[in-house]
Amino acid sequence: MSTVNLTEETFADAVQRPGITLIDWWAAWCGPCRSFAPVYEAASTRHPDIVFAKVDVDAQPRLAGQFGIASIPTLMAFKDGNLVFAQPGALPPAILERLISAVRELDLTKAAVDAADAEGSRG
């Protein structure tokens, strides 16, 4: 599968769907973004069940602003509509694969229970 470009109009549908959506926030003038692009594209062919999306911060400045994108590339991962990872910086192929595995294995129900338990122990 190849990557899809997201806009303000298509963003919500892409991230709120069941499953995993990875988003690469990028710009054409960004050297690290250009270096990361083939790594990201290659991963998209190895994981056809995941939506690999890109947001051009120059073409979508309001969307980038809504998510506080201050450094590019920034990679975000959504699972079943929940933001589960966000980090600036280009990832090497092996680290991207580990991230994908971690997101696949993430149990959102357990994570919610753990978060509620942690919140309860503080208050």
Catalytic residue among 23, 33, 57, 99: 33
Exposed e or buried b per residue across 52-82, where buried means at least 16 C-beta atoms within 10 angstroms of its C-beta: bbbbbbeebeebbeebebeebbbbbbbbeee
The C-alpha angle 77, 23, 67, rounded to 5 degrees, equals 85
Determine the Cα–Cα distance for residues 77 and 70; give it in Å rounded to an integer.
17
Q: Are strands 74-79 and 20-26 parallel, antiparallel or unpaired?
A: antiparallel
Which entry of 15, 20, 30, 69 is annotated as an active-site residue? Answer: 30
Q: Say whether 22 is catalytic.
A: no
Closest CA to 51 of 95, 8, 17: 17
52 is catalytic: no
Which positions are annotated as active-site residues? 30, 33
